[in-house]
Structure 1
Amino acid sequence: MICIRLIAVDRRPTRLAMHLTDHDLRQLDRDALSRLGEEAVRRLAERLLADLKDARDRLNQDSRNSSCPPGSDSVYRQPRAGSERDPPTDTTPDEPPTVAVGEIEETAEAGDDGAPVAKAPSGAAAPAARRPGRQPGAPGFGRNQKLTVNAVLDHWPARCAACDEPFAAEPVAQAYGGYDEIEVLPADPNAPGLRLWVTQHRFWEAQCGCGHCSRYQPPRAVVLPEWEGARVDAQQMLGPRLAGLIVMLCLRYRLSRAKVQELLWELLGLQLSAELLDQTIRQNAGQVAPVEELLREEIERAGLLHLDETPWRESGLLLWLWVFNAVTTVVYFIGARSAEIFVNALQGGLAGCLMSDGYAVYRSYLNRIRCLAHLLRKARGLAEATCRHTSQVGQQLLDLLGALMQATQAARDGPSEDLAEQQAPNLAQLKALCERHQNSPFAKLGEFCREMLNDWEAIIRPLLDPSLPLTNHAAERLLRHGVIARRLSFGTRSEQGTRAFALLASIIDTCRARKVSAWDYLSTALQAGRQGLPMPPLPAVSVGG
Structure 2
Amino acid sequence: MTLSDRDLSQMDTDYLDDLPEGELRPLSKQLLADLKEARERLKQSPDTSSRPPSSREPWQSNQSSAEPSEEAPATDDLSALDSSESSSDDLPSQDSATPPAATGDSGKPKKAGRQVGSPGYSRNLTLPVTRTIEHRPDCCAACRQSFADNTDYRPWNARFELELEIGNAESPKLQIEHSRHDYFSATCPCGHQTRAEPGRGADEDGWSVALSEWHLCGPRLVSFLVYLSLSLRASRSRIQAYLRDWLGIYLSTSTINQCIHEAGRAVAPVVDEQLIAELKAAGLLHIDETPWKEAGQLFWLWVFVSAQTVIYQVGKRHRLVVNQLLGEAFCGLLMTDGYSVYRIFPRRLRCWALLGALGTQGPSTVSVPG
TM-score under structure 2 length normalisation? 0.66
Whether 1:323 aligns to 2:303 is yes
Maintained 8 Å contact 2:159/2:214: yes
Whether 1:272 aligns to 2:257 is no
Between structures 1 and 2, the one with greater helix share: 1
Q: 1:317 Cα deviation (Å)?
A: 3.8
In 1, Cα distance between equivalents of 2:281 and 2:204: 27
Whether 1:372 aligns to 2:352 is yes
Alignment deviations for residues 182-223 of structure 1 (CA, whole Å, 9 cap, x no partner) = 101132334322111111101101123333322113322223
In 2, Cα distance between equivalents of 1:206 and 1:105: 73
For the residue of structure 1 that corresponds to 2:312, the secondary structure is strand
Q: Which residue of 1 aligns with 2:214?
A: 235
Specify which structure has the bigger relative contact order, considering alpha-carbon pairs within 8 angstroms and separated by 6 or more residues: 1
Maintained 8 Å contact 2:211/2:262: yes
In 2, Cα distance between equivalents of 1:258 and 1:222: 31
For the residue of structure 2 that corresponds to 1:186, the secondary structure is strand
Q: 1:248 Cα deviation (Å)?
A: 0.7
Q: Which residue of 1 aligns with 2:367?
A: 460
Maintained 8 Å contact 2:136/2:153: no
Whether 1:197 aligns to 2:169 is no
Q: 1:241 Cα deviation (Å)?
A: 0.5
**1:56-205 aligned within 5 A:** 93=65, 95-96=67-68, 98=72, 100-101=78-79, 102=81, 106=88, 107=91, 109=93, 141-205=121-185
Structure-2 change in CA distance of 1:362 and 1:163 (3 Å): closer
Alignment deviations for residues 64-108 of structure 1 (CA, whole Å, 9 cap, x no partner) = xxxxxxxxxxxxxxxxxxxxxxxxxxxx75514646343587336
For the residue of structure 1 that corresponds to 2:256, the secondary structure is helix
Maintained 8 Å contact 2:331/2:347: no
In 2, Cα distance between equivalents of 1:145 and 1:283: 23
Structure-2 change in CA distance of 1:205 and 1:93 (3 Å): same
In 1, Cα distance between equivalents of 2:338 and 2:240: 43
Between structures 1 and 2, the one with greater strand share: 2
Q: Which residue of 2 aligns with 1:536?
A: none
For the residue of structure 2 that corresponds to 1:142, the secondary structure is coil
Maintained 8 Å contact 1:300/1:348: no
Maintained 8 Å contact 2:142/2:192: yes
Q: Which residue of 2 aligns with 1:244?
A: 223
In 2, Cα distance between equivalents of 1:198 and 1:105: 69
- Pick aligned residue for 1:337 from 296, 317, 320: 317
Whether 1:286 aligns to 2:265 is yes
Maintained 8 Å contact 2:185/2:193: yes
Structure 1 stretch 321-330 or stretch 307-316: which is displaced more? 307-316
Q: 1:243 Cα deviation (Å)?
A: 0.7
Structure-2 change in CA distance of 1:95 and 1:172 (3 Å): same
In 2, Cα distance between equivalents of 1:208 and 1:361: 62
Q: 1:315 Cα deviation (Å)?
A: 4.4
In 2, Cα distance between equivalents of 1:196 and 1:308: 40
In 2, Cα distance between equivalents of 1:151 and 1:226: 37
Q: 1:334 Cα deviation (Å)?
A: 1.8
- Pick aligned residue for 1:299 from 279, 298, 305: 279
The letter of the residue matching 2:235 is S
Structure 1 stretch 274-283 or stretch 362-371: which is displaced more? 362-371
The letter of the residue matching 2:287 is L
Maintained 8 Å contact 1:309/1:321: yes
Structure-2 change in CA distance of 1:184 and 1:138 (3 Å): farther
Alignment deviations for residues 487-520 of structure 1 (CA, whole Å, 9 cap, x no partner) = xxxxxxxxxxxxxxxxxxxxxxxxxxxxxxxxxx
TM-score under structure 1 length normalisation? 0.46
In 2, Cα distance between equivalents of 1:291 and 1:105: 67
Structure-2 change in CA distance of 1:95 and 1:371 (3 Å): same
Structure with greater Cα Rg: 1
For the residue of structure 2 that corresponds to 1:183, the secondary structure is strand
Whether 1:314 aligns to 2:286 is no
Alignment deviations for residues 161-195 of structure 1 (CA, whole Å, 9 cap, x no partner) = 34433323232232111211110113233432211
Maintained 8 Å contact 2:137/2:185: yes
Maintained 8 Å contact 1:298/1:329: yes
**1:426-445 aligned within 5 A:** 444=361
Q: Which residue of 2 aligns with 1:255?
A: 234
For the residue of structure 2 that corresponds to 1:297, the secondary structure is helix
In 2, Cα distance between equivalents of 1:108 and 1:346: 64
Maintained 8 Å contact 2:164/2:176: yes
The letter of the residue matching 1:95 is E
Among all aligned residue pairs of Structure 1 and Structure 2, give the percentage whose two residues are the same amino acid: 33
Structure-2 change in CA distance of 1:348 and 1:460 (3 Å): closer
Structure 1: runs of 5+ lacking an equivalent = 1-91, 112-117, 120-136, 383-443, 466-545
The letter of the residue matching 1:288 is V
Q: 1:325 Cα deviation (Å)?
A: 1.6
For the residue of structure 2 that corresponds to 1:193, the secondary structure is strand
Structure 2: runs of 5+ lacking an equivalent = 1-63, 99-111, 115-119
In 2, Cα distance between equivalents of 1:182 and 1:264: 12
Q: 1:316 Cα deviation (Å)?
A: 4.8
Maintained 8 Å contact 1:149/1:200: yes
